[in-house]
Chains A and B, each alone.
Chain A
Amino acid sequence: TQLLEQSPQFLSIQEGENLTVYCNSSSVFSSLQWYRQEPGEGPVLLVTVVTGGEVKKLKRLTFQFGDARKDSSLHITAAQPGDTGLYLCAGPVFNAGNNRKLIWGLGTSLAVNP
């Protein structure tokens, strides 16, 4: 069974600090995705990483896919209160019926305090 382990589970920091969230697996994934979910809303896709070693930047967010495609990280520089939310990593797997679905990490609940 493929699993995605996400850490830390909870993070509370002050505005302006940097942070890194990790998403690890013992399995190889063809791609990994990062979503952010704000209270009262559905998750919103931030990025998809597909190539081992790939680095993608989205303003103050930097995403990296491990060389072996088993892990990914999300680094936020100079966090702001607007970054508060639940960050989820997800990767595609095939079920017994050969249907593709996403499996999810447990999420990182981030609170950025002003």
Chain B
Amino acid sequence: DTEVTQTPKHLVMGMTNKKSLKCEQHMGHRAMYWYKQKAKKPPELMFVYSYEKLSINESVPSRFSPECPNSSLLNLHLHALQPEDSALYLCASRRVDRGNEKLFFGSGTQLSVL
């Protein structure tokens, strides 16, 4: 099983809504990531969890709140988002192989904020 599963695949929300994005992997990877990606642009790192602890927060606004309940799950809680937050949100997990890192990405959640 080499999959990272993200739900939902699509999400439309208003600026006053609260929603959550979910990510799951069962590869035993101990680092998980949230990225934001606009169309035809590279992914922008948001958060990194390593061994269930937040290790990187790329100065992301507090309306995005990550959570790592256990080593297989990663959530991103959304509240009071802005239209400019509309993007593809990607989750990834990391495997280290002979000193080289490999990221496994999910298919993403396409988020539209109205």
Contact status of A100 and B106, CB under 8 A, knowing A43-B43, A105-B42, A107-B40: no
Known: A31-B100, A43-B43, A88-B42. 15 other contacts (CB 8 A): A40-B107, A41-B105, A41-B108, A42-B92, A42-B108, A45-B103, A45-B104, A88-B43, A99-B48, A99-B50, A99-B55, A100-B101, A101-B48, A105-B42, A109-B40
Residue of B nearest to A42 (CB): B105
Task: List A contacts of B104 (CB < 8 A).
Answer: 45
Of B42, B43, B56, B92, the contact of A97 (CB 8 Å cutoff): B56
Task: List B contacts of A90 (CB < 8 A).
Answer: 42
- Least Cβ–Cβ distance between A98 and chain B, in angstroms: 10
Q: For chain B, which range describes its interface: under 10, 10 to 19, 20 to 34, or 35 or more residues?
A: 20 to 34
Residue of B nearest to A95 (CB): B56
Interface residues of chain B, those whose CB is within 8 Å of chain A, are: 4, 40-43, 45, 48, 50, 55-56, 90, 92, 100-108, 110
Interface residues of chain A, those whose CB is within 8 Å of chain B, are: 31, 40-45, 48, 50, 86, 88, 90, 92, 95, 97, 99-102, 104-107, 109
- Least Cβ–Cβ distance between A27 and chain B, in angstroms: 17
Task: List A contacts of B48 (CB < 8 A).
Answer: 99, 101
B56–A42 contact, CB under 8 A?
no
Q: How far is the CA of A54 from the CA of B92 in the complex (A)?
A: 27
